[in-house]
Structure formats: structure tokens, C-alpha cells
Structure 1
């Protein structure tokens, strides 16, 4: 089985090293870094700098490029891949871009899988979980299993569904990261960081998913009170001359919810379940409740 890995950054090199014991691996990178050349030399792997006729004998492609060039790479590779080959897009491209790539490749008889990395390979390496969707998801999962990489296929998932979930995860994780920076820096300046960890212990005990559902559900009940609390927290950071831009954005969201509650109040009991709470929040997300912040 011949596998081409396109993109030899940290991700590509990790999977290339693992795959070299199970597949006939070929590397491709338009601007190979010294680390890529060293890996190719160490493992005795061919290293190409562009798509070409050499792809005509490839059975699998794992595209490990950045999201902004993923569609271009798919088109370039697809022009040379044989019908029946499988193209696995491991980039962080948008769901729409991945869907378009899948449709284009499918028209050429090439199967497509949308695969995303759910974690930081710099921390967990080959053990980092993968989520896969698209027509070739089962094939991709089997190939990943062969090299010891944990992967799960979305039941009935379309190309782009895995990417959508990855980016939704980013909304939460990167938002928490940004708030974490604001919070811990402020706590350090005020000399209370050790105590802060103690007062966050209830979240550790409850678990993130339960905590997330609880705060979103009760957001409908307590948005106004919480908006005042956030306003005071912003003032505290501003007084300490510390960044508060992420928290200020949170204040804007609370104010929009307060306006929505006044204009389109939910039915009694809506906040009793996360399903009904999210449904109401979605129903007012497109309404014009712009407020001055």
C-alpha cells in the first residue's frame, strides 16, 4: 500500500514516521524544512516538492497542510491520483472547503475523508484522538489503526462534519485559553493565584461538560445578574491596568441576552433543560438585539 503524506510539518512528520513501518511512504512538501529532509534521509523516503505524475501509483494520501491551502492541494493531487485512491484531508480547513474538495475529488473517482486532530500532538503525539467523516471514513480509520493512531468515524458524517466539530471545539478551548490568560495574569498580579485554583475546585469536581450545560441552561435565568458581575470584573481588570478584551466581549453577550429576554421572553420552564435552553438561544441569535457596550 503506497501512502503519500503531503505537508511535512510537525503533523506530517509524526504520521510519516509511524506509517513508514506499515506503508510504502512518499513525502511531499513545497518548501521542506531541514527537519523534513532529515526525516526523509533517516527513513529512506522519497521527498517531492510538488504534485506530479509520481502520484499516479499512490493508493492513499494524507494531506497534513494548513487549512488555507488544503483545497488547492486537494485539486493538485487529484489531477494525478488514480481512480479508487483515497484522499484524507487532515487540515483545519473550513467545513465548506472540505465539502467542496470532497465533491471535486469524487467527480474524479477519488474517495475523500475529512479527518481532524482533536488535541495537541505536541503533547500527546500519536495517541492524539482523530475524528473522521466522509465516504472514506471507515478506510481512514482502519489505516490510522494500523499505525496505532486512535480514530473514530462519525456515523453518517458528511465531509466537513468532522471539521465543523473541530472548529466548535476551538470556540470553547481557545475562548477558555484567552480567558485563562486574562484571569491567571490578573490573579498573579493581585497575589491570589494559589487561592484562585482552590475556588475553582468545584468545576473540577463537576466536570467540564456538566458545568457547560449548567451555565448555559441557567444563563436564561441569571443573565442580567451575571452581566453586572462581569461588568465589575472588567472594571477590576481595568483598574489593575490589565487586559480585559475577552471578558469585555463576554459582557456584550450577556447584554444581548438581557435584551432578548425582554423582547422575546422564553416560555416558563425553558431553562429546565439544556435542549430547550439552547433552542431558545438559537431562536434569538439572529434577532436584532444590538446594544451599546
Structure 2
């Protein structure tokens, strides 16, 4: 319909938070006119990257990537909240750091909680769509569905992340649960 009317359709996926990069936020483009659209966007000082000529590739990349990004947030929330509640958060974080030293788990955990506290409602809605995408691919979608639940639950607590440490955020969340 769009092309029949003389328009050009391009599948676009915004790949990072818009703030603080604003118009310079990375985005993926896909579709037969993606190269042309990328030229126009680059001329506007934007940051497009062509994902391919097939409509749907940019959206699929973003959606499937979210299984990992938002899923890791939910996993870290469940792990660190349980660790704090059991009084063993320092030991669990030390073990995580030893197992995967490329990640500073205390910093990453605080960041992941902040993302869920501030953006969890929107992220949960996205994860429900991701679950549909995964199911349409013929794969079990249970992790995506449960990620949506965690995102919703943390956001619904309406706890301000403030500029606090991981432990402060964990305590405020646990206090609101």
C-alpha cells in the first residue's frame, strides 16, 4: 500500500536509549529502500546502519536482542534480590565476579535495576511482543514471558532508583515488595 502510493517503507529499530544521544542514537534499517534512507539520515547527522534488504530484519534483530538484554536484567534482579534477602549478596557478587570477571556485577546489577525501575513498564510491553516473536519462530517463549513479569513487577513498585548503590536499590525494592 505504501509503495503503491509512491512511498518508501523502511523497517527501523532504535537500538539504544534516545537520551542522551538524541538524534545520534544508533538505529538499524532494513528493506529495499534502507540504503537510500540511510543516506538521508546520515545527511541529518543521524546514526543509521543498514541491516539488510528484507523488511523485518531490523525489528527482528532488536526484538531477539531484547531476549538477552531485558532477560539479563530480570535474571540479575531475581538473583540479587534473593541474595540480599538471604544476607549473602557480597558472597554471590564475589562468586559472579570470579566466574565472569569481564562484568562488574555490582555495577551491572545496580544499572539493571535502575533500567527496570525507570523503564520496566515499557520494557515489559516490549517483552510481551518479543515472546510472541519467539513463539512465532516455533521456540518456547517462557523466558521472555517471565522477563515481562519481572519488568512489570519492579516498575509497578514505583520506587525511585535515585543515585544509590546496588544495596540501597535492593533494600528499597525489597521494602516495597
Q: Output the TM-score relative to the length of structure 2.
A: 0.50
- SS of 2:75's equivalent in the other structure is helix
Q: How many residues align?
A: 107
Q: CA deviation at 1:153?
A: 0.3
Distance 1:146 1:191, change over 3 A: farther
Match of 2:91 among 165, 170, 195: 195
Q: CA RMSD in A?
A: 2.8
CA distance in 1, matches of 2:57, 2:35: 15
Q: Gapped runs of 5+ residues in structure 1?
A: 1-103, 208-244, 251-293
Q: CA deviation at 1:190?
A: 2.1
Q: Deviations over 1:115-147 (max 9, x none)?
A: 101122235434431110012211221222223
Return the alpha-carbon distance in structure 1 between the equivalents of residues 47 and 99 of structure 2.
Answer: 28
Q: Which residue of 2 aligns with 1:149?
A: 46
Q: TM-score, normalised by structure 1?
A: 0.32
Partner Cα distance (1:116, 1:179) in 2: 25
Structure with more relative contact order (C-alpha pairs < 8 Å, separation 6 or more):
2
1:195 CA displacement: 3.3
Structure with a larger share of its residues in helix: 2
Per the TM alignment, residue 194 of structure 1 is displaced from its structure 2 partner at its CA by 3.2
Task: Determine whether 1:175 maps to 2:71.
Answer: yes
Q: Quick one: distance in 1 between partners of 2:15 and 2:32?
A: 20
Deviation at 1:204, TM superposition (A): 4.6
Task: For structure 2, list consecutive stretches of 5 or more residues without a partner in the other structure.
Answer: 104-141, 148-177
**Residues 173-223 of structure 1, C-alpha deviation per residue, up to 9 Å, x if partnerless?**
22222222211211222233233333222565468xxxxxxxxxxxxxxxx
Which residue in 1 is equivalent to 2:12?
A: 115
Larger radius of gyration: 1
